[in-house]
Amino acid sequence: MTHRIVALVALIAFLVGLVLATFSEMRIFLPAMLRGAVVTVQVSVLAAVLFVVMSFVAGIAKDSQILVIRWTAIAYIEVFRGTSLLVQLFWLYFVLPEFGIVLSPMAAGVLGVGLNFGAYGAEIVRGALLAVPRGQVEAAIALNLSEWKRLTRIVIPQAIMVMTPGMINLTIELVKATALVSAVTLVDITYAAVQQNQLYYRTMEIFAITVMLYYCIAQFIRIGGSALEDRFTRHLQRRV
Amino acid sequence: MDWRWDFTFEVVLPRLWEAAGITVYATVASFLLALVGGLILMVLKTSRNRIISVPVTEFMELIRATPLLVQIFFLFFVLPEVGITLPPLTTGILAIALYNSTLCAEVYRAGLQAVPAGQWEAARALNLSPLRTFTRIIVPQSLPPIIPALGNYLIAIFKETPLLSFVAVGEIMHASKVIGSEYYRFTEAVTIAGIFFLVMSLVSAQLVRMVENYLNRIILR
């Protein structure tokens, strides 16, 4: 627990330091990069919500009894895992208007990243659901619980424990993948770094800060994730 | 929506076909480099000398915690500053290879550690030299879990090559962007690029599965 707090304090100190550094001679490029960081965080948070929702929907639907639902889920997973995220972002932003659907850059970025990672997350959710012992489902049937209650009260609470580590890793991957949203004209950390580098040629400083910003976000997720994991496995820990 | 077949066949397909060659070349080259790089990183990481192992471990952590795109830009802009001028394609291949070699290193390590310690002991009891133990006893047993994992990284690298379009490497995604901005028609080019990736990934995923089954059969026999 203490090392987690130390790490959090260090990360926050670094970020505060960056904000303070905007008053030094770094002010020519730092504010633009911090604005980029805000965009990255916005896209990441919204895409992460979509990612979790899609993972559960597709992960549960892939083992559905109804053929149409199952095949839709399989098609979704294969298409979004089989093509590159960059291609998907391009398609959402430049091709979808041909079909009459015009998305803002933010919407296209969030949809692309969220749907892409949802397809990967679906397999994790599905694997975790399958890991719940069959007897649990049978016991729930014997107790005459409805199908919905069986899923939400018996199976998912036990599966969450299994899926948390994998989902947290994917969330970190998701934040890294948001670097691609510059393809749909969003100015995130990466794109801001490239722009500022072209203006001022302070390559080393700019990219070192970029790397550190991503590293910080990843560490925040790792710390939050391990706290979440503790929460979900709390009932397994011995009480003193 | 209007999909124009003449445009597809006369402009899009020939140019994407040319670009597909660069995509495949970049994939294979980065994969081979990542295989070797992963081996080197694995050896350095498991070194008993902490002066070597600790910095290498931290370096690998840093590589894995940052986006590949940032690393591509970093190499693209920083290498010329220190006096190394490489073509964009080479820079991109190096960046992808470096990123994936940190992942391959973990695969190798996991595969080797999965071999039970008793195998080392038994080989010593049979008076085999350490080199012979390693090449004849340990490596053959660690291959079955390693090879499918490496195959999955090959597919992952393939799907990472579109990132090279950010540094103007003429691979398939870049070609479709260029077609899009020349004719102001993105529909055909981007869709066909997507289909290309989908088909290639599905086929190669199937191949990896076949190799995996084949290896499992050999081991179980």
**In a domain? residue A240:** no
Mean predicted confidence (pLDDT) in B146-155: 89
Query: What stretch of H or E contains A63?
Result: none
pLDDT in tens, A38-95: 999 999 999 999 999 999 999 999 988 899 999 999 999 999 998 889 999 999 998 8
A43 within domain boundaries:
yes
CB contact at 8 A, B104 and B150? yes
pLDDT, mean over chain B: 89
Residue of chain B with shortest Cα separation from A89: B190
Look at phi and psi of residue A144 and say left if phi exceeds 0, alpha if psi is from -120 to 50, else beta: left
Q: What is the mean pLDDT of residues B21-37?
A: 94
pLDDT tens digits for range B32-77: 999 999 999 999 998 888 889 999 998 998 898 899 999 999 999 8
Cβ neighbours around A111 below 10 Å, total: 20
Q: Which two tokens stand for residue B77?
A: 């802009």
Say whether A98 and B202 touch across the interface (CB within 8 A): no
| 0.85 surpassed by complex ipTM | no
- pLDDT of amino acid A232: 85
Using a CB-CB distance cutoff of 8 angstroms, which residues of chain B are in contact with residue A182? 166
pLDDT at B107: 93
pLDDT at A72: 95
pLDDT at residue A240, rounded to an integer = 57
Chain A residues with beta carbon closer than 8 angstroms to that of B184: none
Say yes or no for a CB contact (<8 Å) between B163 and A176.
no
Where are the alpha helices (H) located in chain B, listed in sequence order?
5-7, 13-45, 50-65, 68-81, 88-113, 117-125, 130-132, 139-160, 172-183, 187-220
Q: Which residue do the tokens 């294969």 mark?
A: A78
Q: Evaluate whether residue A20 is within a structural domain.
A: yes
Nearest residue of chain A to residue B159 (CA atoms) = A84
CA–CA min distance A46, chain B (Å): 19
Neighbours of B208 (CB within 10 A): 18
Cα B168 from Cα B19, distance rounded (Å): 12
Measured between CA atoms, how close is A152 to chain B, in angstroms? 33
Note whether A86 contacts B197, CB cutoff 8 Å. no
Nearest to A190 among B67, B81, B165 (CB): B67
Q: Which of A86, A91, A215 sits opposite B66 (nearest CB)?
A: A215
pLDDT of residue A212: 87
Q: Minimal Cα distance from A84: which residue of B?
A: B159
Whole-angstrom Cα distance, residue A1 to residue B9?
A: 62
Domain annotation covers residue A238: no
What's the domain count of chain A? 1
For residue B183, name the pLDDT band (cuts at 50, 70, 90).
confident
- Which amino acid is it at A69? I
Structural domain harbouring A127: 2-233
Rounded mean pLDDT of A83-112?
91
Nearest Cα neighbor of A73 from A113, A112, A108, A118 is A118
Which residue out of B102, B157, B186, B199 would a mutagenesis test of the A interface target, given it has the greatest number of A Cβ atoms within 10 Å? B186
The answer to whether A83 contacts B186, with C-beta atoms less than 8 Å apart, is no
Summarised one tens digit per residue, pLDDT across range A6-45 is 777 887 887 777 777 766 777 778 888 889 999 999 999 9
Residue A14 lies in a domain: yes
User: Which of B1, B66, B173 lies nearest to residue A98, judging by beta carbons?
Assistant: B1
Confidence band of A1 (pLDDT split at 50, 70, 90): low
Backbone CA torsion sign across A132, A134, A135, A136: positive
Q: Average pLDDT, stretch B115-128?
A: 90
Q: Is residue A239 part of a domain?
A: no
Which CATH number characterizes residue A13's domain? 1.10.3720.10
Q: Please tell me the predicted confidence (pLDDT) of residue B142.
A: 87
Mutate to test the interface with A, among B74, B79, B81, B181 (most CBs of A within 10 A): B74
Residue of A nearest to B70 (CA): A190
> What are the structural domains of chain B?
5-220 (1.10.3720.10)
Domain assignment present for residue A51? The answer is yes
Q: Calculate mean pLDDT across residues B104-116.
A: 90
